A and B are shown apart, each in its own frame.
Chain A
Amino acid sequence: MSRSPLLLRFLAQALLDPQQRRRLSEISFQDAGHGFDVFGLHPEWVQGMVALFQPLYKHWFRVSSHGAQNIPKQGAAILASNHSGMIPIDGTMIYCDVVSNTDPPRVPRPVTDHFVPALPVVSSIYARCGTVGGSRGNVHALLERGELLLIFPEGVPGIDKDFSERYQLRPFRVGVAEMAIRHRTPVIPVAVIGAEEQFPLRLRLPIHTFGAPYVPLSPIPLPLPVHYHIHYGEPLNLYEGRSAADADDPEIASAAASQVQAAVQALIKRGLSERKGVFT
């Protein structure tokens, strides 16, 4: 689990062209001394996972990226996205999209729900690719290190939506806004269009192994080959006109969270109006 297994190296060789491999070899990270950062990220794993998901990203979902220039080239920032699609394929596609469309390539640090670090195998693979558990301390530490965070402020209720409720955001948790104000960090609203339709039918098995709220199941074995559109909005500087201490004010934090939600909802609306069809 520690080193990039041979399979991932092979995938990187086989699926990435030399230019992509050269780009991804430039991934910068804060090495804690043995080739890993303190959270367990390893650049070879990032390269291998981007290669592994390349066929999905390029050929299955045919991801179109819009506004990636809004992602800061350096420094702490938070990508706040809508969440959907039964399983977090949307997170993986945003991850691949950010790595592919930033120069030099930036590795977003997805922040997962509390139960994810308790999942065997998944937790280790996620950690090698840069994912961290969703605790306040982890987010604080990453922002202090100038990392780019990927957060789904809807949480699990976002991914749990029924098909009839697609593109209707669940209430955003205030943590993102609070952290952005406290750390003087821009929030980049992100809208993923397409993921809501990838699993139109779903079941929830009431199995709570490792603390998961349920086990998702779909009668369709594979996600439908919908066309993903990922839109990045203009950065929101929620801290402007607010002091770091304002992050402790529940009303201010709540208002800032609503501001982020409104920005994501507006991006979704724009994205839906611009797309020609679910599969095209």
Chain B
Amino acid sequence: MGDRYNIFSQMEHLQSKYIGTGHSDTTKWEWLTNQHRDTFSSLIGHYDMMNFVAVAENESKARVKFNMLEKLIQPCGPPPERPEDQ
């Protein structure tokens, strides 16, 4: 019992430290949103990926970055409404 409790507190620690650590109640929307945010921030952070996207879209790098930053807010749209009974 003690072990199991301990693991749980470790999970809580991980969840508070790293956004996006899943738990048993993670919804598909939450998971996807984190995936998208991770992807966009990685694209912004790696200069050659920015170049790559900017070349493909034929946009300025500043515009591509701006677009991605905007998308970070709600990459998968607003959260779905939860069914009332849960």
Q: Indicate, yes or no, whether A interacts with B.
A: no
